[in-house]
Structure 1
Amino acid sequence: MAGWSTQKGHALALAIDNIDTDQLIPARFMSAPRSEGYGQYLLHDMRRGDDEQLSADFPLNRHEGISILVAGHNFGSGSSREAAVYALVDAGIRAVIAPSFGDIFANNAINNGLLPAQVDAQKVMQLQHALKDAPAQVSIDLPASRLTLGDLKVTFELDEGWRVKLINGWDDIDLTRQHMQAIGAHRKNRNKAAPWAWPNKPN
């Protein structure tokens, strides 16, 4: 997974609260191979009518090349399906800006290079208002935790460990590997202090 520090892309206002993981990708599509791409299933039932045709009324259907969503409260709540993040990433989304996120969704997002930028609700409303007529370019500065839309500059909250993972393109395993020397030293010290606890001598 490639890391990133800055990002520029067209942002779309999706001012809907409580978009959960089942809406992001309905469960019936999760048996499809990931190699086929999950982007086609993103918000499937919200974007389509009973005839399965894309609805012209849904914001995401009216614009192409969107890589940033400015969403509502509690984005990504619901079940812990990582496929919800796959659907966003495969559709070209690199960041979601919202007042709050489902905890498991946010963690899955980080592990797949997707930024869940938590922003004050009033600032989110300002961003959505600025985007109400048409998408516009937003710049994201990950080290500074800052978003820029025209003259509007907004800071976002991000755990420092998550920032490191995004910048370096690391998942949880990659992050653990950065501490292998300390882990090895701890194993050796524990073996000396309590050799009875080790059925086999550690490497």
Structure 2
Amino acid sequence: MIKILMADDHAIVREGLKQILADVPDMEIAGEAASGDDVLAMLRADNWDILLLDIAMPGKNVLELIKLAKQKNPQQPILILSMYPEDQYAIRMLKSGADGYLTKESAPDQLVAAIRKVAKGGKYISATMTDKLIEELNPDQNKLPHTKLSDREYQVFLAVAKGRRTSEIAQEMTLSVKTISTFRTRLMAKMHLHSTADIICYALKHGLLD
């Protein structure tokens, strides 16, 4: 039996997933979480055959959750199930340690197949994303600037693009205001941007905001 910890902040999504997996004989949703902090607490309290994580949840950021889960258990299977298109987030999630990425528009049989594969130690991405991942792993000077940011820089970039103040970002990421300012300076230099307006325009242009 595959013991699943499912995390999504929308109750209706969690209910839908439970219905999809209810008749699958080798799977059990043994835990539910509605925030990143809930996931972290449940990771500390128990072991799971697979984590089924949404990207956009309140509390601890999903990139941090992936890293913390892998620190506790380097072999921990993690499947991202997100509303965001693969070309926006899949590569960053996989590079951060996730073992698979699936959109919520995928068919139920794809979800079941992905859970089985990832739980057994495999990787799951679409054929399209396989090609993109190969391109990403090859040196390429023409990559979009935001793909060259570190995970921390990318988190700060998105937060700034969403209109968050430096103090708010620092509180959310549990870092000092000075550290956030340093990340902001670095990402703007890497991306050749000069203002908050530039950051917002870039994020909108490339579809990085929901």
Bigger share in helix: 2
TM over 0.5: no
Bigger share in strand: 1
Which TM-score bucket, shorter chain as reference?
A: 0.3 to 0.5
Give the TM-score of the pair, scaled to structure 1: 0.36
Question: Larger relative contact order (C-alpha < 8 A, sep ≥ 6)?
Answer: 1
Give the TM-score of the pair, scaled to structure 2: 0.35
Larger radius of gyration: 1
